[in-house]
Amino acid sequence: MAGAHIAREAIDMGFESPVLVAPGRRDVSCLTEGPRQAEAVGAPLEAVRVRLLDLLGTLSRLLGEHATPLLEAARQQLEQRACRIAVIGQIKAGKSTFINALAERPGLLPTDINPWTVVVTALHLRNAATPPEHAAVFHLFSVDEWKELADGGGRLRELTERLVPGFQSDLLRAQLEVMRKRAEQRLGPRFAELLGRCHRFATVTPDILTDYVSAGDGTSRPCASGRRRHYSDITRSAELYFNESPFAFPITLIDTPGTNDPFLVRDEITRRSLENPDIYVFVVSALQPLSVGDIGMLRLLNGMHKDRIVVFINRIDQLPDPASDAAAVRATIEKRLRAEFPTLQIPVICGSARLANQRLDADKADGAMPHRARTTATHGMRLQALIERAPDDGAGDGRPRAGMPHASCGLREVSAAIGRLMCTSSIAMLLRQIAVCLAELVRTAEVSDRAELEAIDARLAARRLESTALRQRIEEEVASLAAFEEHASQLQASFRDVEAHFKALIASATELLHRQLGTLVREFAEREAGALRAALQERPRRPAWRCDVTPLRLELEAAYLAACEQTTSDLDRIEQFLYPQLKLIVKSLVPDYGGSLLEAPAWAEGLAPSVAALGDKVTMDLSTSWWSRWFAGRRAAEERARHLRYLIEEDFLKIAVELVGEAQAHMCERVEYVMRRVDAIGNGLSAGIERRRAGLTKEQALLDGAGEAHGLEAFEAEQEGRADACLRRQEAHAAALDELGGVLEALDTAQGERP
């Protein structure tokens, strides 16, 4: 035990010092099984990823230096981007247990009867031959972050004070005091020196994880009672790395502290630290499924990620009669989801993460069957057989027996749902973009090769004429190349103009949207304040009145979407004007350019900008009891009206700013994509020019250099060689294009498989 801490202390000293292996601890990573078979989750995308990576190797040889930056960027994306799956839900819903089951690592993340996970923990799972450099990396809060948190400053205090006036800010202060004292008690009075550090471990054990990500008992171990120290109070994030994964595609599973935690500090940490996952798994307990808070959270997600949500109803094993109750609970939830989100199709899956873990443990204990075989044939069946299997049933053939109730742990279904969602997620979009971009690169290279081939033919024809004619021919070509180059640079310049135009358009649209939304909020606030004044005149003591901000939300959403649509259609117009122009220019340079790059891209439906900000919790959403408090608190009617206006503007102007930022980011992303495609053409053309210029210079040198006859022969041989190279390249290009076509087809198929 002590060894690990000494090792870690050593790492503390020197930030980048080599990692020391903690001896004497149970190594969790060694408990895992070998790589999984082909139909694991994300297999279609993984196949595409591998094919694209292979192609990158071929293309970097084929396309030469000019393409290297683009290819490198693509490689980086392919190698590093994982599908991020966030597991969210209320406290004690069973999120950590669920992740342990999904990652097929029972007992990895620590779980407890009390809310236990306090740190956002990311499990990076990918199949790789070499083990990761670090198995676990823990980032502690920086000095500033800790100060802001411990002082209850910033957004946290603002939020709690405004949301629940009076008591809860006292509560928060008390909680923060407890937290500060506990940190001091656990880590010693000089714990502040630890802030801003990063602790790395070569292996990860349950003990280490408990020390960094678990709440620990209220009656904490003082640091004197052993060498172990509890860091979770000051840990900001935890990253765990594994080189063996039950998923085919690289996956990052994110465990989060539960929402609805009476320890307000944790709730706030969760809200703050969730960054852009591709898929959400929303875990609810079957015993209390889908409360108002859950619906609110789903509404928030709905704004961000239209249909990338899976609802997992956990703990069905604790229902009085799992077989029939689970179906009833599921039906109720599906009905409520349909009522709340009529346009969404959220898969709802019942199961028990606890049973799934027990089963995984049992399998590990069996150990006889290799994992590969088990997952192919019996994975689903053994899960399904779990509940009906009597405890004394030693046979364990895993097949459901006739007449027994049919139920399952649900993990297989969740995996399948995740696999389906992945195929339409931003990951699939990214792969598609990369494939399209590569195809454009290849096509441009092909165009310049074809031009070169023609030039060679012409020169060889001229060879039959006199050498002076040849010389003249080369000179002509140098001149035409110069003209070509000028055109190309004009083209590049006009690209830049277009980009500037795009940017200007976005800036003015953003400005307009900002003004529009601000006006909406202010007008609404003014209107409501007026209504309040009127209500107070009517019944000064207890007005039967409360402010409903739903209309404002709807107005904002409508204005926002309309503005986005307007700008999008403006961009469309420019693009429709831009592409024919581009086509004209490129055609004048290379008459038979065949790339589809010059067609305006079709924008996918799912790319509408997010309205997530509108889901933000605001003061006005509070219950009747909040309003009665609010009325009790303030005296004069005018003051109340003013305060109401202040609250509305405070809450919604912030939301408006977020919406504007979102719209801007959304449009910039689109413009960047267009510019990337256009740059791919430009790069390809200039590379072709470079190559031809180099060729011409060489020819001229050959002609100038040696004796006339010898020079001509050498020249001819050189030309033949280059023509051959061109032809070989063309073959390779065709093969690469075929492969890319295949990749795009595979992506289409994967996407089409969705129900």
Sites of contact with other proteins (CB under 8 A): 90-93, 112-114, 164, 167, 217-219, 260-264, 267, 285-289, 291-293, 295, 315, 318-320, 325, 328-329, 331-332, 623-626
Contacts of 743 (CB under 8 A, 6+ apart): 48, 51, 52, 55, 431, 435
DSSP states of 191-227 as a string? GGGGTT-EEEESS--HHHHHHHHB---SSPPPTTSSS
Which lies closer to other proteins via its Cβ, residue 261 or residue 477? 261
Query: Residues for the chain: how many in total?
Result: 755
Which lies closer to other proteins via its Cβ, residue 108 or residue 329? 329
List phi, psi (to 5°) of 667: -70, -35
Which lies closer to other proteins via its Cβ, residue 258 or residue 595? 258
In angstroms, rounded to a whole number, what is the distance separating the alpha carbons of residues 6 and 15? 14
**Coil, helix or strand for 321?**
coil
Q: Which two tokens stand for residue 656?
A: 């408006």
In angstroms, rounded to a whole number, what is the distance separating the alpha carbons of residues 680 and 677? 5
In angstroms, rounded to a whole number, what is the distance separating the alpha carbons of residues 479 and 553? 63
What residues are paired with 88 via a beta bridge? 282
CA 712-713-717 angle, 5° bins: 115
CB of 96 to other proteins, least distance (A): 14
In angstroms, rounded to a whole number, what is the distance separating the alpha carbons of residues 423 and 83? 10
Burial of 271 (C-beta count, 10 Å sphere; 0-12/13-18/19+): middle
CB of 646 to other proteins, least distance (A): 23
Which lies closer to other proteins via its Cβ, residue 293 or residue 721? 293
Tell me which amino acid residue 170 is. D
Q: CA torsion sign, 708 to 711 to 717 to 723?
A: negative
CA 526-530-534 angle, 5° bins: 170
Which lies closer to other proteins via its Cβ, residue 546 or residue 583? 546
CB of 246 to other proteins, least distance (A): 26
Q: Which helix (H) or strand (E) holds 253?
A: strand 251-255
H-assigned helices in 113-166? 143-150, 154-163
In angstroms, rounded to a whole number, what is the distance separating the alpha carbons of residues 39 and 101? 18
CB of 91 to other proteins, least distance (A): 6
CB of 53 to other proteins, least distance (A): 45
Q: Which helix (H) or strand (E) holds 102?
A: helix 95-102
Tell me which amino acid residue 318 is. Q
In angstroms, the first-to-last Cα distance of the chain is: 51
Q: Which helix (H) or strand (E) holds 124?
A: strand 120-125
Q: Which two tokens stand for residue 419?
A: 């696999």
CB of 132 to other proteins, least distance (A): 33
CB of 323 to other proteins, least distance (A): 13
Task: Classify 196 in phi/psi space as left (phi over 0), alpha (psi -120 to 50) or beta.
Answer: left
Contacts of 618 (CB under 8 A, 6+ apart): 549, 651, 652, 655
Which lies closer to other proteins via its Cβ, residue 348 or residue 445? 348
Place of tokens 């199961």: 351
CB of 180 to other proteins, least distance (A): 16
Q: Which two tokens stand for residue 158?
A: 């603002």
State how beta strands 235-242 and 136-140 pair. antiparallel
In angstroms, rounded to a whole number, what is the distance separating the alpha carbons of residues 136 and 121? 10
In angstroms, rounded to a whole number, what is the distance separating the alpha carbons of residues 210 and 220? 13
In 3D space, the residue among 582, 575, 581 whose CA is nearest the CA of residue 602 turns out to be: 575
Buried b (16+ CB within 10 A) or exposed e, 36-65: beeebbbbbbbbbbebbeebbeebbebbee
CB of 352 to other proteins, least distance (A): 12
Q: Which helix (H) or strand (E) holds 83?
A: strand 83-88
In angstroms, rounded to a whole number, what is the distance separating the alpha carbons of residues 22 and 189? 26
Which lies closer to other proteins via its Cβ, residue 287 or residue 668? 287
CA distances in angstroms from 749 to 48, 205, 420, 754, listed in the order given: 11, 41, 11, 9
State how beta strands 251-255 and 83-88 pair. parallel
Which lies closer to other proteins via its Cβ, residue 158 or residue 753? 158
In angstroms, rounded to a whole number, what is the distance separating the alpha carbons of residues 277 and 295? 19
CB of 281 to other proteins, least distance (A): 18
Which lies closer to other proteins via its Cβ, residue 292 or residue 602? 292
Q: Which two tokens stand for residue 700?
A: 């001229």
CB of 295 to other proteins, least distance (A): 7
